[in-house]
Amino acid sequence: MPDEIKSPPSPPPEGDPKPTADQTTVPGGVKATASGSVQSDPKSQAEKPVPSPSSPVPAKPATTAPAAPAKVAAPAKPAAPTPTPWDSPLVAKLRSSYGSGIEPLTYAGQNYMVVDRSLIPEILQVLRNQEQFDYCVDITAVHYPKREKQFDVLWILYSYARNERIRVTTQIRDGESIPSSVPIWTGANWLEREVYDMFGIKFDGHPDMKRILLPDGWKGHPLRKDYDILQQDNEWVQINLGIESGQ
């Protein structure tokens, strides 16, 4: 049933007068994603740029040659968006002090900086004291086991005065610890405890470095990619029942 609406001769309706009850149809104006399953859409689809709220997103080739409808294979997909360099007065100031230690980028309209681990407490201090990023929204980490520097630790900061949000990311090795930002933002306390709890990343100088969500005696750090989700169950069954878990 959706198919019959898929080939309107007219350009994609903007605020279609038909109060259609069919939820699955009709373009809302979306950029074709990399998945390619939108290939059979009317040609005009691929060309209409979405009124995306993130204007700095590079207008990726949405002007790609429209999918020839006869082709079954994926048409020329628009290249997936990639992070692009970010430039602003803030970046210029930081660049002049830190030069190559920082790499400012922007993706999907969101600005972030990948900084060297050696810069860590200093650049956060500068961001808070001089650039007025006084609200530490979140501190979290991501684990990439195949990379040499396995962990991505990131701070999401917001400035009330500038109404601006940035992310500061750094990369560390397994076993490496990182200076705590509790002296900078008091609210970092529990956030860092949670990162320690889930990833095992220790923060030097934290007043109370211990687990927060899991019981104190827990072994392992669950959000690491090498922590199997069924691990406890299989272990428990093995120990207590002496059989192989059926999972």
Partner 1 sequence: MTDQNSSLSHLDLETPEKPFLDANELVINMGPQHPATHGVLRVILRLDGEKVLGLECVIGYLHRGVEKIGEHRTYTMFNPYVDRMDYVAAVSNGLGYCETVEKLLNVEAPPRAQYVRVILTELNRIASHQLWLGTHALDIGAITPLFYTFRDREEILKIYEKYCGARLTTHAFRIGGLQYETYAGFEKDVKNFLDFFRPKIDEYEELLTTNRIWVERTKNVGNISAQDCIALGVTGPVLRASGVKWDLRKAQPYANYKNFDFDIPIGQNGDTYDRYLVRMAEMRQSVRIVQQAVYALPEGPIMAKVPKVMKPPVGEVYHSIEAPKGELGYFIVSDGSTQPYRVRVRPPSFVNLQALDVMCRGQLVADVIAVIGTLDIVLGEVDR
Q: Is 238 in the site for partner 1 (CB under 8 A)?
A: no
Distance, first Cα to last Cα, the chain: 40
For residues 29 and 14, what is the distance between their CA atoms, to the nearest angstrom? 9
Binding of residue 150 to partner 1 (CB under 8 A): no
∠ CA 140-141-143 to the nearest 5 degrees?
160
Which position among 34, 59, 65, 68 is part of the footprint of partner 1 (CB under 8 A)? 34
Supply the minimum distance, in Å, between the C-beta of residue 34 and partner 1.
Answer: 5
Check binding of 240 to partner 1 (CB under 8 A).
Answer: no
**Contact call for residue 33 and partner 1 (CB under 8 A):** yes
Residue 10 makes contact with partner 1 by CB under 8 A? no
Neighbour tally for 152: CB within 10 Å: 16
Contacting range for partner 1; rule: CB under 8 A; set: 37-45, 86-94, 173-181, 236-244: 37-45
Contact status: 131 vs partner 1 (CB under 8 A): no
Q: Where are the alpha helices (DSSP H) in the chain?
A: 2-5, 43-47, 89-98, 120-129, 188-199, 231-241
In terms of CB distance, is 172 or 212 closer to partner 1? 212
Torsion of CA 230, 231, 233, 239, to 10 degrees: 160
User: Measured between alpha carbons, how far is residue 93 from residues 90, 104, 131 in Å?
Assistant: 5, 12, 10
Q: Where are the beta strands (DSSP E) in 2-150?
A: 84-85, 102-107, 110-115, 135-143
Nearer to partner 1 (CB atom), residue 73 or residue 243: 73
- Residue 85 contacts partner 1 per CB under 8 A: no
**Total interface residues for partner 1 by CB under 8 A:** 70
Part of the chain binding partner 1 (CB under 8 A), chosen from 68-76, 119-127, 205-213, 235-243: 205-213
112: β partners:
105, 167
Interface residue list for partner 1 (CB under 8 A): 15-17, 19-21, 23-31, 33-35, 37-38, 41, 45, 50-54, 57, 80-83, 107-108, 110, 134-138, 140, 142-143, 156, 160, 163, 165, 167, 185-191, 194, 198, 208, 210-217, 222-223, 227, 229
